Chains A and B, each alone.
Chain A
Amino acid sequence: MSALLEIKNLHAGVDGTPILNGLSLAIQPGEVHAIMGPNGSGKSTLSYVLSGKDGYEVSDGDMLFDGRSLADMAPEERAIAGLFLAFQYPLEIPGVTNMTFLKTSLNAILRGRGEDEMDAASFLRLAREKSCGLGMNDDMLKRQLNVGFSGGEKKRNEILQMAMLEPKLAILDETDSGLDIDALKTVAEGVNALRAPDRGMLVITHYQRLLDFIKPDVVHVMAAGQIVKSGGPELALELEKSGYGEFVGEAVNA
């Protein structure tokens, strides 16, 4: 079976500043990988490069998603192909309700795949079911997208979008930051519900706590734009105790 996501020797930067320096990583279908690493090590950058944000340029290496090279795909094509990014800082869109946004997004993706759009009734049913599962009431669906949402509500909303779109690969960028303990559990349940043999996840986090709820198959340590160490869930526990000190030096020497 070929990898769901294969990153080989990726060099990339933003606005001319190199940030990723030869990063390699492979996620097999069904796997959950966690990435941990100090502030500024390039975790969010990796998520933007994978999802195709403007200004982020790849200077070397490959990114294969389901065997397809991501490099030449527009951001929306990547989304249509099944790549989802839960943003570290979700955006606000005034005047557009959460419901409208979800529906526009879901239908754009279905259309992009050559499938029929979802009718209004089925959509409503699905949206209610998914939001209820995440402890969000109808009222949240009627509000303008992320406008006036608390930090935790915004994160929960990202997971709602993920649950609606059912991506093949979900990248979660610090979705746990700013969540209270109950919200953390709910979000983790949402993530776990999406785990499936043909799907994969890349979970960026600073806290081992999240990994108690979302059990990763592999944990990576990222420093200075590279993966400097990979291991099982126990690696996260180690990091929690000893910090990143030893890796920061390692990356520089690499």
Chain B
Amino acid sequence: MSEAKASIDKETVDQVAKFGGEHYKYGFTTEIDVDKIPNGLSEDIIRFISAKKEEPQWLLDWRLDAYERWKTMDEPDWAHVDYPKIDYQDLCYYAAPKSMEDGPKSLDEVDPQLLETYSKLGIPLQEQEVLAGVRKVAVDAVFDSVSVGTTFREELAKDGVIFCSFSEAVQEHPDLVKKYLGSVVPKSDNYFAALNSAVFSDGSFCYIPPGVKCPMELSTYFRINEANTGQFERTLVIADKGAYVSYLEGCTAPMRDENQLHAAVVELVALEDAEIKYSTVQNWYPGDENGKGGIYNFVTKRGDCREARARISWTQVETGSAVTWKYPSCILRGDDSVGEFYSIAISNNMQQVDSGTKMLHLGKNTSSRIISKGISAGRSSNAYRGQVNVHPKASGARNFTQCDSLLIGDKCAAHTVPYIEAKNLSAVLEHEATTSKISDDQLFFCQQRGLDAEEAVALIVNGFCRDVLQHLPMEFAVEAQKLVGISLEGSVG
């Protein structure tokens, strides 16, 4: 073990101590002039959003087609979650800081209040703020419906890496957008993806040219600020032949009594020998301990290993949101391609999580690996839903699935729903599952060594999550460990 790793757990514990009683430190709101359209969803609203972004006709048509299809679809009800019916006409589909009216600006011109918001969230939007010696991370910051800035664009451009907001990509790289948009998650893939395709407002776009190893971490930071506003962002990451990129997204929102909808779509395309590592630290406001407020996080994420030897790896740390419905998946189309899914999903109080992955083996000798760690506390419900599918032509497919649940207290629930479908006899599929509880004896042991109950839980849970935390980029592993501690506050007592 490295010394750095050793010090992380200490930080976890510090952090927990520091936030004692104050559960959600990102719950503040930014008072800022916004440009917000009336609530409701219609063709006109879609035309408005598209016009606002000066989109080409084909994209408007694409949106309208998605809208037509969405109207014929039903909201999915198969997930192990329960929430009141959403009134889609009572949501606002576009809100942007007024200062962003004339489109994205250079970082020097971004409203200082926005910069301050991000700095309060611990996200530096000024390139010079990045300390010497610390690995650089380029950030695209999405505030409600728009991207307010992207750092290190010029430096990345030197290597041919395109990293910008989705709106800018539509203007500056329309061919790439047209070629790949909807190529992994078709616009009518599912109810929420169709809704997103109709009304998405912004998001991040990234293209790594052939043979390029992206010289820094890329990240998108999502912030929902406005009340009664949905966030529908779209992320598209393309790694061309032999390219490599590590990408991270983070999410927070103010504490509000009403629920807010976040329906994003993330599409990843990895071509021959390319590799994409996509990590998420999801910390949307989870609602209060009685289940009031919080984000509905209904997200479609899918990666396509489109050509031979492509690799896509999803790592997620899901601690926030009132309701999570999310299954980052891999289509293993290329021969010898590899898909991975590493997940930590924590539910506390009244949170509901239904998350997992789908590995679709289409090419020959494809392999996938799933490690899922579900932690339930309070009165929460936490379900792992996984699907491993082997196509008749996918000879030599391999999957390893390990699915561990940890229960804290006796009022929470954990469910494991694995589907396995192998249509090729040569497939080798392994599945392991465990359920455990934090024992009183373990807690007492830690307390006897000076830790209070919450520090003890944070330590034990971080140990439980170790296999997954190890897959996060170092910088974010620290953050994630702290988050694990904070999100379980109040779970013992």
Contact = CB atoms under 8 A, between A and B. Distances in A.
A235 to B, nearest CB: 29
Of the candidates B442, B449, B467, the one having the most CB atoms from chain A within 10 angstroms of its own CB is: B449
A54 interface: yes
Contact of A120 (B6, B451, B464, B467): B6
Interface in A52-94: 52-55, 74-76, 78-80, 84-85, 87, 90-94
A96 B440 contact: no
Interface of B is mostly: helix
B62 interface: no
Nearest to A144: B463
B449 A101 contact: yes
Interface stretch (B192-200, B307-315, B388-396, B452-460): B452-460
A92 B455 CA distance: 17
Of the candidates A75, A123, A124, the one having the most CB atoms from chain B within 10 angstroms of its own CB is: A75
Contact of B447 (A74, A93, A103, A124): A74
B448 A79 contact: yes
Contact of B13 (A90, A94, A108): A108
A90 B450 contact: no
Interface string A145-173: 10000000000000001000100000000
Contact of B450 (A53, A80, A87, A145): A80
A90 B465 CA distance: 22
B463 A54 contact: no
A100 B10 CA distance: 8
A104 B445 contact: no
Given A93-B463, A142-B1, A144-B463, A105 B450 contact: yes
A91 B449 CA distance: 12
Nearest to B443: A54
A101 B459 contact: yes
A137 to B, nearest CB: 14
Interface in B185-230: none
Nearest to B469: A95
A96 B462 contact: yes
B452 A91 contact: no
A76 B440 contact: no
Interface in B399-457: 439-442, 444-452, 455
Given A96-B460, A97-B1, A54 B450 contact: no
Contacts of B455: 104, 108
Given A101-B459, A104-B13, A142-B1, A95 B448 contact: no
A124 B464 CA distance: 24
Contacts, number: 106
A158 B446 CA distance: 12
Given A103-B9, A117-B10, A93 B460 contact: yes
Contacts of A106: 450
Interface residues of A, number: 45
B135 interface: no
A51 interface: yes
Interface string B286-300: 000000000000000
A57 to B, nearest CB: 15
A230 B465 CA distance: 49
A239 to B, nearest CB: 29
A91 B447 contact: no
A44 interface: no
B452 A90 contact: no
Contacts of A90: 445
A145 B460 CA distance: 11
Contact of B6 (A91, A103, A109, A112): A103
Nearest to B17: A111
B3 interface: yes
B448 A96 contact: no
24 contacts: A55-B440, A74-B452, A78-B448, A79-B450, A91-B442, A94-B463, A95-B464, A96-B460, A96-B462, A96-B466, A97-B5, A100-B1, A100-B459, A103-B9, A104-B9, A105-B446, A105-B449, A108-B452, A109-B449, A112-B450, A120-B3, A120-B7, A124-B3, A142-B1
10 closest cross-chain pairs (CB), A and B: A95-B463, A96-B463, A95-B466, A105-B449, A108-B450, A109-B450, A75-B447, A91-B445, A79-B450, A100-B9
